[in-house]
């Protein structure tokens, strides 16, 4: 059992928290209240960033002390939304939210994952008609292994998980968000994920 704090109580955060609790972990969900988030992060071994990506950097930098030496699992995408509310561009072109977080929080082990799919797939990958891929980006091999194990608790098979390398590889997976609005406009909100076919 691992102590996990999920920052963000929207659809993504609630979904992850429920699934991780079912898997036997001790999970705390924190809303956007700074004090609540600080308390949750302080008492957890792993912190999951499920806050809206556009404001994640400021929120998490404010928790620098609480996040020191912790594993920060970043599942958010930082985007500029278009008139229809769907992602239209990246907030950090030439970089990524994960890279910005790692730079701002050098004492924290940032691992990017689960950001290349609609949120229901995060906790139910086997429900798709073909295997999806969960990518890992991060600097610390041990932290990535811990997150890898967490993904298997969520139903991800080992062969469905691909370690891309350092945190700079997160800019590739974050750019995949630009597919999403076009897929949604053509196919609706049917769950889907990016998959590497071999």
Is pTM beyond 0.85? Reply is yes
**Confidence band for 198, pLDDT divided at 50, 70 and 90:** confident
pLDDT in tens, 14-34: 999 999 999 999 999 998 777
How wide is the angle at C-alpha 6 spanned by C-alphas 166 and 65, nearest 5°? 70
Among residues 122, 126, 153, 119, which one has the least CA distance to residue 135? 122
pLDDT in tens, 70-86: 999 999 999 999 999 89
Count of CB atoms situated within 10 Å of the CB of 58:
10
Fold of 3-187: Rossmann fold (3.40.50)
| CA distances for 78 relative to 3, 42, 117, 180, angstroms | 26, 24, 14, 13
pLDDT in tens, 62-74: 999 999 999 999 9
**Confidence band for 181, pLDDT divided at 50, 70 and 90:** very high
pLDDT in tens, 36-54: 999 999 999 999 999 999 9
Q: Could you tell me the residue ranges of all domains in the chain?
A: 3-187
Count of CB atoms situated within 10 Å of the CB of 5:
29
Share of the chain above pLDDT 70, in %: 99
**Confidence band for 153, pLDDT divided at 50, 70 and 90:** very high
Residue for token pair 């999403």: 180
Structure tokens at 37: 């988030």
């Amino acid at each position: 059992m691992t102590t996990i704090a999920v920052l963000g109580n929207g659809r993504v955060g609630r979904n992850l928290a429920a699934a991780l609790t079912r898997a036997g972990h001790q999970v705390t969900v924190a809303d956007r209240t700074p004090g609540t988030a600080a308390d949750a992060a302080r008492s957890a071994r792993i912190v999951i960033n499920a806050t809206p990506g556009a404001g994640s950097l400021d929120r998490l930098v404010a928790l620098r002390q609480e996040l020191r030496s912790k594993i920060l699992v970043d599942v958010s995408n930082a985007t500029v939304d278009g008139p229809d509310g769907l992602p239209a561009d990246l907030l950090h072109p030439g970089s990524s939210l994960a890279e910005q977080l790692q730079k701002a929080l050098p004492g924290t082990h940032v691992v990017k994952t689960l950001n290349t799919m609609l949120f229901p797939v995060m906790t139910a990958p086997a429900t798709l008609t073909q295997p999806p891929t969960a990518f890992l980006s991060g600097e610390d091999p041990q932290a990535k292994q811990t997150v890898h194990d967490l993904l298997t608790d969520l139903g991800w098979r080992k062969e469905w998980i691909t370690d891309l390398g350092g945190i700079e590889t997160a800019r590739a997976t974050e750019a995949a968000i630009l597919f999403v609005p076009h897929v949604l406009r053509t196919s609706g909100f049917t769950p889907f994920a990016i998959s590497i076919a071999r």
